[in-house]
Chain A
């Protein structure tokens, strides 16, 4: 058993292959350990730190979405309120009224997460399914304006700034250098990932899967589905709060947008993109989330539009997210049939690139016209300068996009046939091996 255990289909372990598990967790720890050494610049280390924060947030979100079938539209309420409570803890550290080591600030966020999840979750988890989603949305809309209504606590529009180096140093840690912050957050990230994985192996964690699959039957084997959801919601709130606390240690500011609906939406989107059906999916999602916001937003103004496109394609063609794509291909590889797909993947990639090249040219030209400087008619695109007042660039871009799409559809359909054939073959070998 390893990180790749599907949350959807957990297997029981009578004799866990301890070495494999150790390898995966060891590798994860090593990656967290050496990442800042490989990527030493301040920007890179800041991105790495944010990835740690995002991993905990997305994993905690997936306790609800993937493991419990609870579609929450308000997860930022718990990360965000964790952030605000943690910011006050840091103010207390700075003026000496709350003498705890700075290293424990994320835990203060976690405790806040427990408190608010226990409070709001009592209402939301009374329902499942669509009503649950609606109520979380409502609570999100309720909390967001609160931040502006109570500026004494939330600091109003500007938020609250703190200084993480203001407190006394503890064990020689001042948190002045970014590297110290990184390792603090890496430690929390690792511990939280282990703890959340462990949760999936407990009676409550398993009953949460049962509630997701068939809430009605759960009631007839002695469990209150509401209680299962409520307790799990509080635990998810704890980890969300820790993530919020980590956020403020890194950014040294808490602004109103940390509890906003937009942030809740981002958690949902990237957890889904990473893959909600596998435990490790949200980790991939979190990496994409941070890299996307930090880097792609620099490349193009229209990056949210591209993100929306990718999200739509994912929902339509691979609803299990990237994690399930990886696991499906791993299965094909395990049956030594992956070599039959490489050619298809190359073709698919080529057609997608053609399609995107055309589409992106259109998008960039539109953005240049709408958001560029006044009187600016030229769009810079892939080293070219496109004149948006001419018809030719538009026509060429559209034709390229359409041709790309037509080729993509052609290839995709044949690929789907081949993929289906391989899956049938795998099924056949598996049933023949199965004792009956």
Chain B
């Protein structure tokens, strides 16, 4: 048992049929760290998130959450142990209002479980927390709007709101800024930083601006393996990363940083 890590992956493997997607991934994230997981398309980033959050069970290997093994557990069991995730494709309660969406996100964690002998209106603490969350994600003016009637950016904010509502200490965000404009993205990163302060954060991200804006450390996933896990500068200097990855992603990164301009994109590595 190594409770010194918030999330730890040991020799994690996942196959779909004969295709092995995650091939012995190892990762150890300390509490409070903000980690961006990057990698070329098809590297298994989303699969990794689905394994950690319990959507899929791993084929072999271990997943530890705050020192406790959670591999093979169901999503709600993992959530109750303090891990919450968002989705790349917005995954909210369409026919419920913004307020109701957030309240649904926190009822379990506040101990109301399956209660049918209490009125929601009298759950003062839950209602106050939902109102507070609504202000945090800046949707207080849309309190009673149905989630399906929100704009895309608002839905993405609500997605984050539901994810953090339960107060989990480990937060997984799957491409939180996917599909957003540049200005929206900048504002959104700020929002994510605010609402996840003090928590362990793992994000999958394609936008290198977001990666460098949010992360203390970068994990590089290639072919289902974590080939590097270090500070952004060290990852950039890493020879293996350069070899596997030179081209599109790092080039994008450098463009985003404005340090150098690469005209040519040699394309994705591997395959």
Q: Which residues of B contact A434 (CB under 8 A)?
A: 141
User: Is B95 a contact partner of A219 (Cβ separation < 8 A)?
Assistant: no
Known contacts A217-B93, A219-B75, A435-B141; decide if A199 and B116 are in contact (CB<8 Å).
yes
Beyond A201-B120, A235-B116, 4 additional contacts (C-beta under 8 Å) are A9-B95, A203-B113, A221-B165, A221-B166
Asked whether A220 and B141 contact (CB < 8 A) given A9-B96, A16-B121, the answer is no
Q: Tell whether A432 is near chain B: CB-to-CB under 8 Å.
A: no
Contact A204 B116 (CB under 8 A): yes
Complex interface: stretch among A29-37, A98-106, A208-216: A208-216
Q: Answer yes or no: B105 CB below 8 A from chain A CBs.
A: yes
Q: Are B80 and A202 in contact (CB under 8 A)?
A: no
A222-B96 contact in complex given A11-B144, A216-B91, A235-B116, C-beta closer than 8 Å: no
B100 and A202 form a contact (CB under 8 A) = no
**Cβ of A436 and Cβ of B79 under 8 Å apart?**
no
- A207 in the interface (beta carbon within 8 A): yes
- Does A13 interact with chain B (Cβ within 8 Å)? yes
A12 lies within 8 A of chain B by Cβ: yes
B94's partner among A10, A14, A16, A213 (CB-CB below 8 A) is A213
| Interface size range of chain B in the complex | 35 or more
Once the chains bind, are B76 and A223 in contact (CB under 8 Å)? Answer: yes
B74 at the interface (CB under 8 A from A): yes
A169 CB → nearest B CB, Å? 34
Query: Quick check: is B108 within 8 A (CB to CB) of the other chain?
Result: yes
CB distance from B262 to the nearest CB of A (A): 39
Residues of A within 8 A of B (CB): 8-14, 16, 198-199, 201-207, 209-210, 212-214, 216-224, 227-228, 231, 235, 434-436
Q: Which chain B residues have a beta carbon within 8 Å of chain A's beta carbons?
A: 53, 74-76, 79-80, 84-85, 87, 91-97, 99-100, 103-109, 112-121, 123, 127, 141, 144, 146, 162, 165-166
Whether the Cβ atoms of A213 and B120 lie closer than 8 Å is no
Q: List, in ascending order, chain A residues with CB within 8 A of B114's CB.
A: 203-204, 207, 223, 227-228, 231
A220-B75, A220-B85 are contacts. A206–B95 as well, Cβ < 8 Å?
Answer: no
Q: Bound complex: CA of A205 vs CA of B114, how far in Å?
A: 9
- Bound together, the chains give a CA A228 to CA B76 distance in angstroms of 12
Q: How far is the CB of A415 from chain B (nearest CB, A)?
A: 25
> If A206-B100, A206-B104, A210-B93 touch, does A224 touch B76 (CB 8 Å cutoff)?
yes
Q: Chain B residues near A199 (CB, 8 Å)?
A: 116
| Known A14-B127, A202-B120; contact A217-B92, beta-carbon cutoff 8 A | yes
With a CB–CB cut-off of 8 A, which chain A residues contact B118? 202-203
Q: Closest Cβ of chain B: how far from A176's Cβ, in Å?
A: 38
The closest CB in chain A to the CB of B78 belongs to A220
B76 is contacted by which of A213, A222, A235 (Cβ under 8 Å)?
A222
A sample of 24 inter-chain contacts (CB < 8 A) reads A9-B95, A9-B97, A12-B99, A198-B119, A199-B116, A203-B118, A204-B114, A205-B116, A206-B96, A207-B104, A209-B100, A212-B95, A213-B93, A214-B91, A217-B92, A218-B104, A220-B79, A221-B104, A221-B106, A221-B165, A222-B76, A222-B107, A223-B107, A436-B141
